[in-house]
């Protein structure tokens, strides 16, 4: 004799399992899962763009004797040119051809040596304020003539400084 005891529990169990399965399916299928490789690709694209922009800005459009100074060198030799650098750099990294302009932000710092203390000093140059967004860092060594008072580096002499740029999408 099949008793009715337990029948209700079975149906409840089946119904519950359907509910659980449906919920899990819905949750998983509506969430985009970023694999580590994928986020790495976006970082790589940003890094490539930053390196390209710095290289292009550090190349003079024509030769001039004895050596053509690039716009990046000129910008670092005179800190009052930072707004100009800001416009050019933002335009370079954000302009796409067949799409809306990108919304990449940056923060640039000059790292130079302070001969009085022998320490490296970080001097903010230009860009937006960085609030711990997911950012990539690109560098370029730049030779500058920092003898004028307005130079971006610490010591007033010819030197090589490390130009550090943080890039993120904002």
Partner 1 sequence: MGLNSAEKIQKPSKTSIPVLDDSGQLSIDFIVGFTIFMITLILAITMTSGLLVGLQSKKIDYDAVAYRTGVVLVEDPGEPTTIINYPTITEQDEWERIGYDQRDLVKRFGLTAYKSTPRILTVQKVLGFFNPSMWPNLNDYEKRMIFSNYPYHFNVTLKVQGEPPLYVGEPYSINSNYGYIRRIVLVKEESNTDDGAVGGIDSYLYREADPISDPTGEFNVRLDYDTLLNKDWGPTYWIEPPKEDIVINLANVSEIKNDLDSTVTDSTLNTIRIVYYGRLLSGGDATGDLPLPVTAIIDGSSHTFPYPDPFPIEVPVNRTVNITFPAGFFIPPSAYAHIQLISMNISFRFNESTVHLAKHNNVYEYNFGSQGFMAPTLKTGILEVRVW
Binding site for partner 1 (CB under 8 A): 1-2, 4, 7, 10-11, 14-15, 17-18, 21, 25, 28-29, 31-33, 35, 37-38, 41, 44-45, 48-49, 52-53, 55-56, 59-63, 65, 68, 92-93, 95-100
Min. distance of Cβ 9 from partner 1 in angstroms? 10
User: Residue 58, SS3?
Assistant: coil
The dihedral region occupied by 6, where left means phi > 0, alpha psi between -120 and 50, and beta the remainder, is: left
CA 161, 46, 81, 60 torsion-angle sign: positive
Q: Which is nearer to partner 1, 42 or 120 (CB)?
A: 42
Radius of gyration of the chain (CA): 28
Q: Which is nearer to partner 1, 25 or 139 (CB)?
A: 25
Cα→Cα distances 46→9, 53, 134, 153, Å: 56, 11, 11, 26
Tokens of 20: 């659980």
d(CA 166, CA 127): 9
Q: Which is nearer to partner 1, 95 or 150 (CB)?
A: 95
Q: Which is nearer to partner 1, 64 or 117 (CB)?
A: 64
Min. distance of Cβ 8 from partner 1 in angstroms? 10
79 DSSP assignment: G
Min. distance of Cβ 64 from partner 1 in angstroms? 9
Min. distance of Cβ 119 from partner 1 in angstroms? 34
Min. distance of Cβ 40 from partner 1 in angstroms? 9
Cβ atoms 58, 70 nearer than 8 A: yes
Q: Which is nearer to partner 1, 11 or 129 (CB)?
A: 11
Neighbours of 75 (CB within 10 A): 27
């Amino acid at each position: 004799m099949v008793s009715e005891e337990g029948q209700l529990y079975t149906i409840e169990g089946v119904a519950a399992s359907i509910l659980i399965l449906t919920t899990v399916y819905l949750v998983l299928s509506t969430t985009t899962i970023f694999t580590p490789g994928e986020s790495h690709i976006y970082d790589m694209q940003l890094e490539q763009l930053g390196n390209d922009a710095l290289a292009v800005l550090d190349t003079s459009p024509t030769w001039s004797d004895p050596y053509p100074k690039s716009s990046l060198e000129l910008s670092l030799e005179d800190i009052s040119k930072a707004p100009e650098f800001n416009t050019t750099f933002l335009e370079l990294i954000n302009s796409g051809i067949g799409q809306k302009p990108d919304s990449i932000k940056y923060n640039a710092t000059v790292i130079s040596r302070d001969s009085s203390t022998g320490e490296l000093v970080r001097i903010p140059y230009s860009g937006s304020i960085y609030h711990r967004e997911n950012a990539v860092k690109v560098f370029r060594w730049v030779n500058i003539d920092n003898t004028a008072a307005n130079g971006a580096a610490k010591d007033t002499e010819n030197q090589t400084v490390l130009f550090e740029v943080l890039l993120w999408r904002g």
